[in-house]
Amino acid sequence: MKVFCGIDWAERHHDVALVDDLGNLLAKARISDDAAGYSELLDLLAAHGDTQATPIPVAIETSRGLLVAILRSGTRQVFAINPLAASRYRDRHGVSRKKSDAGDAFVLANILRTDMPMHRSLPADSELARAIAVLARAQQDAVWNRQTIANQLRSLLREYYPAALDAFVTGRKGGLAHPEARAVLAVAPTPAAAAKLTKPQIRAVIKRGGRQRYVEAETKRLQDIFRAEYAHQPALVEEAMGKQMLALLRQLDAAAHGADDLADAVETSFQQHPDAEVITSFPGLGTLLGARVLAEIGDDRNRFKDARALKAYAGSAPVTRASGKKRYVGRRFVKNDRLTHAGFLWAFAAITVSSGANAHYRRRRDRGDWHAAAQRSLFNRMLGMLHHCLQHQVPYDEQRAFAPLLEPAA
């Protein structure tokens, strides 16, 4: 007799249901979200035939947390069921639209009983790959948070301090998040304070911000901008906005330092992974971007049946909707958004460093694709190559990857 387990996850407690292969409810329980509750769950599973050799599969509506970590130890299959999919299955068990935590656990267990091959279990990634995933996602979130705060700071500066935008935003790499810009704004929070800065003061500040080259030229440029003619807010209003700007600047400093620290941690961990050499052999994939790609695809070689499954997961492969005489082929909306974001950065970088990637992109543009569609097509092709190289542990080869496109150019 096969047994299937469903767990309705909550913040303080979890409802558990066990069903057999005929759909009969074998047991149900409510466990607490602590070590005692986890032990109670493992004892319940063991009482119904759970062993190290034949573990009972579990369906749950989340892929994170300590409970999931406990369940993933060993060879157990854990299925993270999308809550939207679970709500659709609920209608199969009744039309009254009733809902309860115990009932949801029963529904999750029956999903595995009837449709387990249609769902993908959590990958059996190595501990190092999972650690890289935590760090890479945290670093990506920190970068996005840093940019959000920088956008808020930019909006505030437009209201009272346009000289700062001319000095650090217009045509400047890094913008307001650059250490040099943050150092100057910290000592000159208002236009009046900036106009009073002398050359020695500006020189000392930009050196403290990390500048080593063209110090004198940059000092003169900043002084000319700060002493130019601009519109001003009333003095008291300008001073108040300066204090608001300093509060945002402290948040930006913390976000920038956090992103930098996490980037160092990502690079250290990623370089220890055996797949790092293969991933970074691809044009456009450096350490940080390669770590983001590894974080999303993992190192479980059985996770994706073939390259098509990986492309669908990344959202780079088109999706077809056909009914009768109607047929539509377009981009996917259900995908791994983090991997898609990394893929567009990868494709954009590859165009500039790989002649084959550039030729593929140009060919798609010549066929009428917009920039985003051509980038997505290139990402789709590169992802297939990455799947092949990781499966066979071979580095990227430009001549083999884009041979048909490179021959006419040669």
Residues 6+ apart with CB under 8 A from 5: 16, 17, 18, 45, 56, 57, 58, 59, 109, 112
Q: Which range is least confidently modeled, 87-96, 101-110, 315-324, 370-379? A: 87-96
Nearest C-alpha neighbor of 297 from the set 401, 381, 386? 386
Comparison of pLDDT for 339 and 410, the residue scoring more: 339
Contact 106, 18 (CB under 8 A): no
DSSP H helices in 116-234: 127-160, 162-168, 179-187, 191-195, 199-208, 215-226
Residue 203 predicted with pLDDT over 80? yes
pLDDT of residue 406: 66
DSSP 118-140: GSPBPP---HHHHHHHHHHHHHH
The mean pLDDT of 347-361, rounded to a whole number, is: 93
pLDDT of residue 408: 59
Sorting pLDDT into bands at 50, 70 and 90, what band is 351? very high
* Strands 326-330, 319-323: pairing kind: antiparallel
Q: How far is 292 from 188, CA to CA, in rounded Å?
A: 37
pLDDT tens by residue, 295-307: 999 999 988 989 9
User: How many of the other CB atoms lie within 10 Å of CB of 146?
Assistant: 22
Structure tokens at 90: 């609920």
Percent of the chain with pLDDT over 90: 68
pLDDT tens by residue, 118-159: 888 899 899 999 999 999 999 999 999 999 999 999 999 999
Sorting pLDDT into bands at 50, 70 and 90, what band is 172? confident
pLDDT of residue 10: 87
Residue 409 predicted with pLDDT over 60? no
Residue 395 predicted with pLDDT over 90? yes
- DSSP conformational letter for 15: E
Protein fold of 4-122: Nucleotidyltransferase; domain 5 (3.30.420)
The mean pLDDT of 97-123, rounded to a whole number, is: 88
Residue 393 predicted with pLDDT over 60? yes
4: part of which helix (H) or strand (E)?
strand 3-8
Sorting pLDDT into bands at 50, 70 and 90, what band is 253? very high
Query: Looking at beta carbons, which pairs linking 18-26 to residues 24 or more positions away fall under 8 Å?
Result: 18/44, 18/45, 18/48, 18/56, 18/109, 19/106, 19/109, 19/110, 19/113, 21/113, 23/110, 23/113, 25/106
Whole-angstrom CA distances from 407 to 355, 359, 379, 399 are 11, 11, 21, 9
Residue 185 predicted with pLDDT over 80? yes
232 class by beta-carbon count within 10 Å (0-12 exposed, 13-18 middle, 19+ buried)? middle
3: part of which helix (H) or strand (E)?
strand 3-8
The mean pLDDT of 373-394, rounded to a whole number, is: 94
Contact 125, 298 (CB under 8 A): yes
* Strands 3-8, 13-20: pairing kind: antiparallel
pLDDT of residue 376: 93
Q: How far is 321 from 332, CA to CA, in rounded Å?
A: 11
Nearest C-alpha neighbor of 314 from the set 267, 379, 360? 379
The mean pLDDT of 332-361, rounded to a whole number, is: 92
323: part of which helix (H) or strand (E)?
strand 319-323
pLDDT of residue 200: 93
pLDDT of residue 321: 85
Average pLDDT, whole number, for the chain? 91
